[in-house]
Structure 1
């Protein structure tokens, strides 16, 4: 019989170990499962109809949750909060609260469902973890044997001082992050291992065999070290593919001449528990000092025990099945893990190695048992540290990636994945070049190709666009990891420098503006010292001539000389007025806005209505585009260009001014051309200087030479430019360029 969905949901609801509360739109509890009544101490009847606010330990938490969930008409994702809740008896407990909308079949929100997870045990476990870390640090310092741990990439993550002291010649290379092979090669080069041989071939073969033994550890083995030390080496691989090693100094034991004495002392003095067990009756024949002290039994008491009496957690049948292969002779060596019980009832985890010795008159089993309580604690501590590291990596604001040398991603933290708009799993296996804008790929490829063993780390700045289309600047630090001269992994860290780039841009703009102002100041100094002095010299000349005539009594030319002086004064006044106008407009604060170019052109032409009528001028515009800039300044620029076209027209020919514009990836290009007398290409730059005129006769062509200088200054203030088209022959053509 198939269970209906309704009955299935009800069964889940009733049997769920975590409290579940159903709350209506008025925050009244309308349903609660058995776990909720047990956790809060209320009966179901007391909970139903109760205002959910009464379950919060803090009114602030209650208010925050109300604002997050209500009104129910708002579409919100499930809400997760950690806060304190209150039981009926007034006691408070920490909890993780998950609240989801409760909807009818047609999508109408009618309430919410709250799932409560009690965090009391989690917080207790956290406190225990902190205590355990302190114990771990103390334990490592207290261990007399050399202890070392390499991670799944065979990089050193932990070792004690005893390990460094044992391998004193290799100590400079025993650094966190170095691989076992790196440490081994360093010791080999500095004479740490006398058994490695003399020739290069012998040492290479020794290195190969030692690495193979490290990667596939088996039985403990003896290792000779310089100067004159002998170590018992035992290594194993954890479930996380970590390599854990213990080094026990047995130099003193090796000096014992008698093999019997040496064997007896080894067995009696090693830290491992050593047992000799009869295959015939399963009784313990002998046990060394470590076994007796750890188990708290005397030798006589142990001989009356069966190994099954010492094991915890396994039934006699299970143990018999486990050791059956070695008892039957099917295998000679068996390694397993179990739990031993001491005489006082306490227990400890241990790793047991059983070896069948069937060459004796009566077959026996030699058993080595190692207390692995501390080792497992260290492994758990390492696992916690790994978890903490992963949590840190996932929560820091920087982007972190790992990839193969061809940029295929093997790891991506969540922050980078969210930026791209994919999950981390969706990004892994893809090349991160896929997430780089096309125009930046060649530069990035060249940057990565330049990484070498001599310089494996380089930084670069890269423009990036997130999944929402928003632009950012990131500084990437790229580290290429090399092994044996070949790149094996690329580790990259990206940091948001958008604000820094913005500040740099502002400083560059201000520096450019200052440079322009300095140039203009130098130009202004030249104008004051040259152009403005010229009328003054003429005024002085005619004044001297008048003084001379007056002194001689001549008066017939006084009116002419005074007229010359008046003309020069008028010319100087015009120059000063135009210079003032230039200074006011050229350094006016830019107020950018978006407007239609055709509107600015029409306003500039209308400002010259009198001049247009005088020369019967015509304006042809094909520039109905939108531009960004200061409307008033750009209108003034076009007005100056139009005024030049109207002023320098051909005699007897109606002036025609044509304007057309085009847009491109770099910005806007506006072309203003006329059918006038044109400009000599040789003067294409001179015409943009202040008070630079090509026509000296002001009666024929009036002006002071300010207009085009002001046009260039206005264009440059918009980060643009204006130039004369020297190829145009049917008049004058100016090209104005404005950036996007």
Structure 2
């Protein structure tokens, strides 16, 4: 009989349970270490097989057992060298040497009757039983890529090619049998694609530990093959049915596509980052806002996009596991340079108290912001109109009573004179009544002018203040000539507003500067200003009689006259109130500079044009 190396050295040496090898004629036998300890024979091929197996018709019985296949075990009586015996179940497997000589391998599994070798026999039984209970296919290959051990799941997983799975078969023969049986979807036996797949599977088997190959079978099931190299050089092959896992993955991918589609349909800007604020996902709206694509922005730090998102960063740093939500509204310029207001809502995920990722949703609220500003401005405008109406009503009830009382009083005097027949003073009384009526008419006109300012802003545009000042000086030319006034007007930046109202503003301020002059000198009026990015500061100052700082607020009130003698400084006391009304209707301010003592200085601030 040939040595066991001619059959399978690994089979003979490596099995943890007893193994008996014999040729087809049963002339001798070889034992592995476990079998020598269990039986006590030398097992070197010099002893006849009948010494260890004394049954009649031994060779035909072995042949029949082998034909039944390794899935079946058979009860045999074994003789020890010390002349004791025992019964054990064994698998009988047909094997063939490298030169084609046939033989048998007997693998002892469970001990049925006595013997001190039972521990080793039961170990083999437990291994096989354990392997057969595993739903994943398991096989062990020796260094020559021949199969040593396999379980039922590994064999059954080969479907129509399962008969190719037997001890001593090579991994290549098993793969080719599987391809030939057509168990792989889309792989036609004999084609270059089939050969390429075979070679790929062999490379996976021969590669580094942990090589994985996933393939779909013709029956639709997905199988993942793994190869793991042991320290001894043998390879453990695993065949895992991942059909259910694939179905779950498919469902997750479907849901992910649906969620992504939903995020694309939302008008909001959606972004997800890791703990370091590096973008891991963003939708199309977010990428478009910054003039890019989602693919390009993934891996980008959010601060690389726009520095004004710092308030968002500050809010995120304040998030905690107990307070994982933050909202902030801020203005950001998009890729086109347009400023847009975004309402950001951000949330964080935490692990062990530390943030692991952030998700932000930004909603463009620019139009809402503008509408709010318009409503706010309308509310302010309505308040100004109501104030004008209230002041108008108060003025009508108070200041107009004076000329009315004059008219009523002189009318009574005329009636008394007529009744007494004294007509010498009628002309004088009538003149007083006429002057009172004229004054009342003037007051009414000025009051209407004041009250209607809020309604007259119709054409807001960029206005040249130089042109406005020139028009005002032209209308005041007579007063300037009469007073001998000197006007020093410097170039002024443009503003936004109504040119007619701005002309009346400058006419009032310059007119007042000329009117309230010192009687012993000719007045000088200076007009100058400066601009910033958003506003224009206009100064109108004179060297006249000035205004006591304690009246800095009162001078802008209706009918607030600091000089009651109209023979010296005539007027209605509405001029500065009208000026303030015009300025406020342009969202500006006007004030008396109380630090200026050489006359009066008024400072006007208006939006830049």
TM-score when normalising by structure 1: 0.54
CA–CA distance in 2 between the matches of 1:351 and 1:401?
35
How far apart are 1:285 and its partner, in Å? 8.3
The within-5 A match list for 1:416-427 is 416-421=286-291
The within-5 A match list for 1:624-635 is 624-635=492-503
Answer yes or no: is 1:494 the counterpart of 2:367.
no
Answer yes or no: is 1:481 the counterpart of 2:349.
yes
The within-5 A match list for 1:152-551 is 271-272=135-136, 288=152, 308-309=173-174, 311-312=178-179, 337=213, 348-352=221-225, 369-380=239-250, 382-383=252-253, 386=256, 398-404=268-274, 407-409=277-279, 415-421=285-291, 431-436=301-306, 440=308, 443-444=311-312, 446-547=314-415
Q: Evaluate the alpha carbon distance shift between residue 319 and residue 613 of structure 1 in structure 2; reply closer, same or farther with a 3 A threshold.
A: closer
Maintained 8 Å contact 2:138/2:237:
yes
RMSD: 4.5
Maintained 8 Å contact 1:275/1:367:
yes
How far apart are 1:415 and its partner, in Å? 4.5
Maintained 8 Å contact 1:337/1:349:
no
Maintained 8 Å contact 2:303/2:310:
no
Maintained 8 Å contact 2:204/2:211:
no
Answer yes or no: is 1:638 the counterpart of 2:511.
no
Answer with 686-695 or 385-394: which moved more.
Answer: 385-394
The within-5 A match list for 1:52-71 is none
Match of 1:709 in 2: 577
Is the partner of 2:603 in helix, strand or coil? strand
How far apart are 1:375 and its partner, in Å? 2.7
How far apart are 1:384 and its partner, in Å? 5.8
Answer with 586-595 or 641-650: which moved more.
Answer: 586-595
Maintained 8 Å contact 2:273/2:280:
yes
Show structure 1 runs of 5+ residues with no match.
Answer: 1-257, 326-330, 359-363
Q: Evaluate the alpha carbon distance shift between residue 511 and residue 541 of structure 1 in structure 2; reply closer, same or farther with a 3 A threshold.
A: same
How far apart are 1:298 and its partner, in Å? 12
Larger Rg: 2
Match of 1:697 in 2: 565
How far apart are 1:411 and its partner, in Å? 5.1
Show structure 2 runs of 5+ residues with no match.
Answer: 1-121, 180-193
Match of 1:580 in 2: 448
Q: Evaluate the alpha carbon distance shift between residue 542 and residue 357 of structure 1 in structure 2; reply closer, same or farther with a 3 A threshold.
A: closer
How far apart are 1:513 and its partner, in Å? 0.6
Maintained 8 Å contact 1:339/1:347:
no
Q: Evaluate the alpha carbon distance shift between residue 504 and residue 650 of structure 1 in structure 2; reply closer, same or farther with a 3 A threshold.
A: same
CA–CA distance in 2 between the matches of 1:281 and 1:709?
105
How far apart are 1:485 and its partner, in Å? 1.7
How far apart are 1:413 and its partner, in Å? 5.0
Deviations 1:222-264 (A, max 9, x none): xxxxxxxxxxxxxxxxxxxxxxxxxxxxxxxxxxxx9999999
How far apart are 1:737 and its partner, in Å? 0.5
Q: Evaluate the alpha carbon distance shift between residue 728 and residue 373 of structure 1 in structure 2; reply closer, same or farther with a 3 A threshold.
A: same
Answer with 591-600 or 269-278: which moved more.
Answer: 269-278
Maintained 8 Å contact 2:204/2:213:
no
Is the partner of 1:572 in helix, strand or coil? helix
Answer yes or no: is 1:651 the counterpart of 2:519.
yes
How far apart are 1:672 and its partner, in Å? 0.5
How far apart are 1:604 and its partner, in Å? 0.4
CA–CA distance in 2 between the matches of 1:442 and 1:281?
62
Maintained 8 Å contact 1:277/1:286:
no
TM-score when normalising by structure 2: 0.64
Is the partner of 2:452 in helix, strand or coil? helix
Match of 2:535 in 1: 667
Answer yes or no: is 1:725 the counterpart of 2:589.
no
Match of 1:601 in 2: 469
Match of 1:209 in 2: none
Match of 2:551 in 1: 683
Maintained 8 Å contact 1:276/1:287:
no
Maintained 8 Å contact 1:311/1:340:
no
CA–CA distance in 2 between the matches of 1:323 and 1:557?
134
CA–CA distance in 2 between the matches of 1:285 and 1:420?
61
CA–CA distance in 2 between the matches of 1:282 and 1:305?
5
Maintained 8 Å contact 1:350/1:373:
yes
Is the partner of 1:311 in helix, strand or coil? helix
How far apart are 1:734 and its partner, in Å? 0.8
Q: Evaluate the alpha carbon distance shift between residue 441 and residue 470 of structure 1 in structure 2; reply closer, same or farther with a 3 A threshold.
A: closer
Maintained 8 Å contact 2:381/2:454:
no
Deviations 1:111-168 (A, max 9, x none): xxxxxxxxxxxxxxxxxxxxxxxxxxxxxxxxxxxxxxxxxxxxxxxxxxxxxxxxxx
Is the partner of 2:528 in helix, strand or coil? strand
CA–CA distance in 2 between the matches of 1:294 and 1:443?
60
Deviations 1:593-643 (A, max 9, x none): 223211110110101122122111221111242222211110111011122
Is the partner of 1:722 in helix, strand or coil? strand
Deviations 1:171-192 (A, max 9, x none): xxxxxxxxxxxxxxxxxxxxxx
Q: Evaluate the alpha carbon distance shift between residue 724 and residue 267 of structure 1 in structure 2; reply closer, same or farther with a 3 A threshold.
A: same
